[in-house]
Amino acid sequence: MPLTPLDIHNKEFSRRLRGYDEDEVNEFLDQVIKDYEIVIRENKELQNQLLAVQEKLDHFANIEETLSKTIIVAQEAADEVKNNAKKEAQLIIKEAEKNADRIINESLAKSRKVSLEVEELKKQASIYRARFRTLVEAQLELLSQEGWESLEDKNPEREAREVY
């Protein structure tokens, strides 16, 4: 058990004939007591400082642990957001591909329809042309028949009036 300043102060030494000077020993013991009290006080202050530093260290360790957990949670959240963004991008791409396929199919259908309509119009134009040719040929044939010349008037005055 360590000595206290009181133990030093209360210590009594036995006396002998040729012993130490009592006043000198008492002065020395008083100085030892003072120094010992200073050492004890400094030791307590250092222990208190050590406790304060340990509390701060524990506090910072807690902050570090909290920050580490926060970083891990943030990283996990970032990974989740990234994965969700990739999934959403894939869905958007698939939807765009479906829309592109639909638009292409609609365009092909419209193209086929227009092509069929063009072919139909060509056939109708060909039929109209053939009918018109037949009609014109029939009319020419009628005009080339012999009855028309007798209808013509040989009057030159009349012919001159018709020209103008």
Render pLDDT for 114-144 as a digit per residue (tens, 0 to 9): 999 999 999 999 999 999 999 999 998 888 8
pLDDT on residue 17: 74
- In this structure, the dihedral spanned by the alpha carbons of residues 93, 94, 98 and 104, taken in order and rounded to 10 degrees, is 40
Are 67 and 34 spatial neighbours (Cβ–Cβ below 8 Å)?
no
For 21, counting Cβ atoms within 10 Å of its Cβ (0-12 exposed, 13-18 middle, 19+ buried), the class is exposed
Average pLDDT value for the chain: 88
Q: How far apart are CA 55 and CA 93, in angstroms?
A: 56
Regarding pTM above 0.85, the answer is no
pLDDT on residue 161: 60
pLDDT on residue 155: 58
Residue 38's pLDDT band (cuts 50, 70, 90): very high
Q: How far apart are CA 71 and CA 99, in angstroms?
A: 41
Q: Which single residue is written with the structure tokens 């100085």?
A: 31
Q: How far apart are CA 61 and CA 68, in angstroms?
A: 10
Q: How far is CA 12 from CA 2, 17, 22, 24, 36, in A?
A: 18, 16, 10, 14, 18
